Amino acid sequence: MVAKRVVPKNKASVVKNIAYEPQVIERKWQAKWEKDKLYRSVIDNSKPKHYALTMLPYTSGDLHFGHWYPMAPSDARARFKRMNGYNVLFPIGFDAFGLPAENAAIKRGIHPKTWTYKNIDNMRRQLKTMGNMFDWSREAITADPEYYRWTEWFFIQLFKQGLAYRKMSAVDWCPSCNTTLAREQVVGENRVCERCGTPVIKKDLEQWFFKATKYADELLNFDEIDWPERVKTLQTNWIGRSEGASVIFKTEAGEPIEIFTTRPDTLWGATFMVFAPEHPLVDKVTTPQQKAAIEAYKAQAARQSDIERESADKEKTGVFTGGYAINPVNNERIPIWIADYVLMSYGTGAIMAVPAHDERDFAFARKYNLPIIPVIQPVGTSHDSPLQAAYVGAGVMVNSGPFNGTRVNTEKGRKNPGISAVIDWLAQQGIGKEAVNYRYRDWLISRQRYWGAPIPMIYCDKHGWTPVPEDQLPVLLPDDVEWKPTGESPLKLHPTWKNTTCPVCGEHAVRETDTMDTFMCSSWYHLRYLSPHYDKAPFDPKEYDYWMPVDTYTGGIEHANMHLLYTRFFHKALRDAGIVEGNEPMMQLRNQGIILGEDNEKMSKSRGNVVAPDELVGQFGADALRTYLMFAYRWQEGGPWNSQGIDGTARWLRRVWTLFTDHTPAGAASDETKKNLRRRVHQTLKRVTRDFENFEFNTIISSLMELLNEMYKAREAGAAGSPEWNEASEIYLKMLAPVAPHIAEELWTNQLGKTYSIHQQSWPKVDEDAAKEDMIELPVQVNGKVRDRIVVPAEASEDEIKSAALASENVKKFLEGKEPKKIIVAQKRLVSVVV
RNA sequence: GCCGAAGUGGCGGAACAGGCAGACGCGCACGACUCAAAAUCGUGUUCCUUCGGGAUUGAGGGUUCGAUUCCCUCCUUCGGCACCA
């Protein structure tokens, strides 16, 4: 039908057939917006602010779907917020330090700085093709000295707060990246490097740590932030808080040993102790007779990889030390063993073993013939037959001195009456106290690499570690460095760089040659965006006061236990140092899913299933790609790419173009047609507004597609040229503007002839009256099956609806003459007749 | 093993107070236009059917006049943690 309208072969039809050439209009508007500084965000106290942040890209050199998918919809929402009266800040920058730059240097002899900044130039160009409302004047690059000067400064502030310290310990080491890693950066059951996938090994090294565990409890509190449950769960599990008691056991060798247990109620059943093989007390408690066996076991445990050691189904092994401890609750003499199922890295590295009520201890006791004494008896049982398995359920305490008869349930910590009572008693007796243990570890920050922010510390033989004086920051990375994958920091091999003087005594001293984990750089980038060139502090307080905190943060969930946890810790540490305010940096978080290849596998060059956004932009335009990414998936889920799917949104945008460029003469539509059009427009506006708030981009696009179809029909019915038509056109383009900013601007400014720019217009207001239906169609069910539909006025009473329903021929037929028992009119949405 | 998320046509998905299952789009089929193709436009498209209707939201059960939606049991997929004392 529409085609017919275009058919008349007069001159008008030639004029109206302007081709939609996205590449032309997109470039044109991007240039104009930039020239007009349309997206420059300036403090304006007359408006509410909205800080929309999307995770900054790493400078890999090429912009892929992993960037487009989170960024384009985030941009649409930022634009929506802006049209809704907010002064919006939507900044961008580059996470520019890191290993790939150094690898490029090793492999191809390109300086990491050259490689990185060349990549940034390309990515900046690619980012601009997206048409986002980024405020480029606030661009921050973490590898710029004016940026990392403050990364170093923050390190010093944390050091001054007692939150940065050095410790010798067995740390995770990636043999491919040749550096240590934080615990979070070792992933999966094979314990591989998060960056390169190589299995990590343990090394005993002295490294810098941040005391993140100080904030463990606070990090478990999400009351102030609107973050997805998934992320909160991941972080909660990662921190791994467990409640119980710490108890001190004396050893016959003299040194007391503290253990942590979540089951103090089973203390009377502790029949032996187990130390981790690496435990420092092992040598003290070992008797001369057992020494050889113990040494052999220790050596074997040290040889084994963590994966071998930590696999749960492995049969438990251990060796008796010959030494004994005294169970403080009943003064029983219990043997001390070592076994590799006890880990030095959790708790105190030693446990009390209660074989009757712990599966691991049970297996161990069985194997080595150690006594098993039940101290929790299931209620209603009394038999004394030997346990066939550890009993971990509820019951009554037995063989437990003063606590015999005390009830124990399956709750943890203080919620369990048995545990609670024993904790109080231990404290009273002075042999133990309530304790909380975490799986969470302090953040290992040292990296044995060149391309990172130097750790601004100086070591002097006399004065130990001292921070570089703040007026000497930044400690600049030297350019003339040799990159060799030696496992030593390249800065260490530099002939002169590390030599300096001690800030305390002025004598010769050396710089720290390790650099910082790049997650340190990204822990505060949202603050640097506020004033990227400010040189008196990491950020301009005026900008901070206006823009912070981040209102909406978007990015991938893969960083739940890394960046998203680090940045929360960092904020709290800065708060305690008096640098920032509030308890949380980012108030609302939303995670997008992942776009997979067409084969439903992760996109990767080796699989050959990579789709390049650049090519799609060349073929369909940025608007079509943006809208397809919003339309095709639940944004928070993602899914496989479908190369034909983008035709759908490209077609839709062409139809939009056709409708707005085809100057149909005014017709004589009926009042009803016009009223219906207006109703659909306002109903759509209502839905689109709601969906923008909720990050439901797919239904925004489908609503706009539906409305376009309605507009085509209304035009056929002669609505063009009417006030209702003009209102529909305006509202349509305004709703389109956030999702497809270029075509909306072109049609608004050059076709409708409205005031430039559409992106500075206000979001339209819903006219609730116009959105209301006059007549409503209700399905009528008889015994739960839809048998007919009736049309009644929207304001019809329940009784009127009931009689209309019963009057229906089809309903009568299915009633088969029987009297209805009940007629339910449900919220004016459905009539249910029950026989 | 523990914790979390999710299962709806050939495909992506919609249904936002428990109330018409399958909106919107992809694909497909047929038709119009064309010498032809592309583009565009139109019609149809969950399955079965004796054309009355029946079945159907991973499976089974429950609550309800009514369940994709709430409850219970189970299955599958994905993600995280995992000898954590």
Q: What is the ipTM of this complex?
A: 0.95
User: What pLDDT shows up at residue A253?
Assistant: 86
User: What pLDDT shows up at residue A9?
Assistant: 33
Q: Which residue has the higher pLDDT, A526 or A797?
A: A526
User: What pLDDT shows up at residue A5?
Assistant: 31
Is A773-834 CATH 3.10.20.590? yes
3 state DSSP class of A325: strand
- The answer to whether the beta carbon of residue A108 comes closer than 7 angstroms to any atom of strand B is no
Candidate from A97-101, A576-580, A730-734 with smallest mean pLDDT: A97-101
Q: Which residue has the higher pLDDT, A313 or A719?
A: A719
Distance from CA(A704) to C1'(B42), angstroms, rounded: 21
Give CA torsion, residues A544, A548, A554, A557, to 10 deg: 100
pLDDT, tens only, A284-312: 999 999 999 999 999 888 877 666 666 65
Query: Boundaries of CATH 3.10.20.590 in chain A?
Result: 773-834
User: What pLDDT shows up at residue A44?
Assistant: 97
Distance from CA(A445) to C1'(B85), angstroms, rounded: 28
Query: Boundaries of CATH 3.90.740.10 in chain A?
Result: 241-438
- The answer to whether the beta carbon of residue A5 comes closer than 7 angstroms to any atom of strand B is no
pLDDT level of residue A3 (50, 70, 90 thresholds): very low
Answer whether residue A700 shows pLDDT above 50: yes
How close are the terminal C-alpha atoms of chain A, in Å?
Answer: 47
Q: What percent of chain A has pLDDT over 70?
A: 96
**DSSP codes, A6-66:** H---SHHHHHH-----HHHHHHHHHHHHHHTTTT-----TTS-EEEEEEPPPB--S---HH
Homologous superfamily of domain range A241-438: Valyl/Leucyl/Isoleucyl-tRNA synthetase, editing domain (3.90.740.10)
Q: With helix as H, strand as E and coil as C, how does A326-389 read?
A: ECCCCCCEEEEEEECCCCCCCCCCEEEECHHHCHHHHHHHHHHCCCCCCCEECCCCCCCCCCCC
Query: Boundaries of CATH 1.10.730.10 in chain A?
Result: 613-770
Q: Which nucleotide is at minimal CA–C1' distance from A314?
A: B83
pLDDT, tens only, A741-760: 999 999 999 999 999 999 99
pLDDT, tens only, A121-144: 999 999 999 999 999 999 999 999
pLDDT, tens only, A139-195: 999 999 999 999 999 999 999 999 999 999 889 999 888 899 999 999 887 888 988
Q: For chain B, which bases have at least one atom within 7 A of a protein Cβ?
A: 3-5, 11-21, 23-27, 32, 39-42, 53-55, 65-67, 80-85
Which of the 632-691 residues on chain A come under 7 Å of nucleic strand B at their beta carbon?
632-634, 637, 639-640, 642, 644-645, 647-649, 651-652, 654-655, 690-691
User: What pLDDT shows up at residue A131?
Assistant: 96
Using only C-alpha atoms, what is the Rg of chain A? 34
3 state DSSP class of A99: helix
Query: Boundaries of CATH 3.40.50.620 in chain A?
Result: 150-235+443-519
Q: DSSP secondary-structure letter at A453?
A: P
Beta-sheet strands, E only, within A84-177: 87-89, 93-94, 140-141, 164-174
Which of the 178-207 residues on chain A come under 7 Å of nucleic strand B at their beta carbon?
187-189
CATH class of A613-770: mainly alpha
| CATH numeric code, A150-235+443-519 | 3.40.50.620
- The answer to whether the beta carbon of residue A606 comes closer than 7 angstroms to any atom of strand B is no
pLDDT level of residue A384 (50, 70, 90 thresholds): low
Cβ atoms A51, A547 nearer than 8 A:
yes
Distance from CA(A32) to C1'(B84), angstroms, rounded: 59
CB burial of A409-440 (b: ≥16 within 10 Å; e: otherwise) equals: eeeebeebebbbbbbebbeeeebbebbebbeb
User: What pLDDT shows up at residue A664?
Assistant: 76
Answer whether residue A111 shows pLDDT above 60: yes
Half-sphere exposure of A693 (CA within 13 A, CB side): 7
- The answer to whether the beta carbon of residue A822 comes closer than 7 angstroms to any atom of strand B is yes
Which of the 410-439 residues on chain A come under 7 Å of nucleic strand B at their beta carbon?
437, 439
Return the percent helix, strand and coil in chain A, to nearest 5.
Answer: 40, 20, 40
User: What pLDDT shows up at residue A13?
Assistant: 35
Distance from CA(A826) to C1'(B67), angstroms, rounded: 15
